């Protein structure tokens, strides 16, 4: 199965990993695996400080763009994992998810975590997709 790098984090972006390097996603055959997306644009600008809905919107815009780079769309996302740093944020986050996916929301796991890689991140979303070549 051929593996295709979708995008690396641009240089100069605050390191989210100990090595300071990360890949934003891979397509392996028909499967797409995306790094957790946050309120940071794909170019490394932080948006929506203190706003869980705004950070969710940016994360989903990133997922849309990365799926496009993989040759798919949001319709090809089959599973998401949503991390929030406060249970109360769920009321702001999930309506935005529904806005992006409509009635076909992917399988989802929601986790409340103590913190994310950067203190200002309130939301992070992992996404997994399957792109059907015959579609």
pLDDT tens per residue, range 6-38: 866 655 555 454 445 578 899 999 999 999 999
Q: Which helix (H) or strand (E) holds 62?
A: helix 52-69
pLDDT in tens, 49-99: 999 999 999 999 999 999 999 999 999 999 999 999 999 999 999 999 999
Domains of the chain, each with CATH number or no CATH: 3-8+23-130 (3.30.1330.40)
User: What residues form DSSP beta bridges with 123?
Assistant: 84
CB-CB contact of 111 with 124 (8 Å): no
Reported in sequence order, the residue ranges of the chain that DSSP labels E, i.e. its strands, are: 3-8, 23-28, 31-37, 77-84, 107-112, 123-130
d(CA 85, CA 17): 19
User: pTM above 0.75?
Assistant: yes
Torsion angle defined by CA atoms of residues 8, 11, 13 and 16, in that order, rounded to the nearest 10 degrees: 50
């Amino acid at each position: 199965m051929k593996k295709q790098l979708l995008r690396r984090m641009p240089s100069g972006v605050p390191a989210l990993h100990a090595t300071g390097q990360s890949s934003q996603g891979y397509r392996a055959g028909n499967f797409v695996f995306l790094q957790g997306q946050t309120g940071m644009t794909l170019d490394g600008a932080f948006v929506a400080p203190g706003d869980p809905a705004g950070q969710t919107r940016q994360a989903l815009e990133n997922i849309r763009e990365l799926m496009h780079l993989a040759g798919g769309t949001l319709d090809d996302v089959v599973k998401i994992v949503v991390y929030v740093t406060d249970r109360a944020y769920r009321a702001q986050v999930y309506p935005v998810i529904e806005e992006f996916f409509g009635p076909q929301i992917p399988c989802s796991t929601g986790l409340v975590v103590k913190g994310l890689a950067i203190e200002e991140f309130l939301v992070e979303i992992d996404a997994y997709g399957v792109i059907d070549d015959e579609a």
